[in-house]
Amino acid sequence: MNFSKRSRYGIRALIDLAEHTDSPCALCEIAERNNISIKYLEQIFSVLKKAGIIKSIKGPQGGYFLAGNPEYIRISDIIVTLDGSYFLDDERLAPGQKGEAEALAVQETVIDPINEEVHRILDQLTLKKLTEHAEQTNQAAQSMYYI
């Protein structure tokens, strides 16, 4: 299973874009608001742009924006775009190989159920749900009164 900083930063930056839909966002602003290196974010956005998850406009009023509605951008798609598969590696061995039965037991009772559950969660989770959660967290933090 792979859920790298690349995917984590990419998702954070996409949440930021979903929160700031009034105009295209400059990469430096996204990087600053999320404490991510601009060079690293450039690499991430290049991949997301090629995948059609984000678009960009060049020029002084340009920047990045989501290519679609956050309600339809699945977290599973973002992770696959940035990291490849998020599934645990198969434990299956070639037929007749020593340890085949034991490896199959691990595969069918541990790895397959974990992969199915992770896929179920990530496939149902959308950028909109994460954005709503982030907005609620920001509102709660702003309404706290400190002495």
State pLDDT tens for residues 50-93.
999 999 999 888 999 999 999 999 999 999 999 998 999 888 77
Q: Output the pTM of the full model.
A: 0.86
State CA 24 to chain mean position distance: 20
Q: Are 17 and 63 in contact (CB under 8 A)?
A: no
Residue 21: pLDDT above 80?
yes
Look at residue 50 and give its three-state secondary structure: helix
Amino acid at 131: T
CA 39 to CA 49: how far, in whole Å?
Answer: 15
Question: Domain 5-143 is in which class?
Answer: mainly alpha
Residue 108: pLDDT above 70?
yes
CA 48 to CA 69: how far, in whole Å?
Answer: 15
pLDDT at site 93: 77
Output the CA torsion sign for 97, 102, 103, 105: positive
Which structure tokens are listed for 49?
A: 């742009």
Amino acid at 91: E
Amino acid at 75: I
Residue 141: pLDDT above 80?
no
Residue whose token pair is 């990291």: 83
Amino acid at 124: Q
Q: What integer is the mean pLDDT of 23-35?
A: 95
Bridge partners of 9? Answer: none
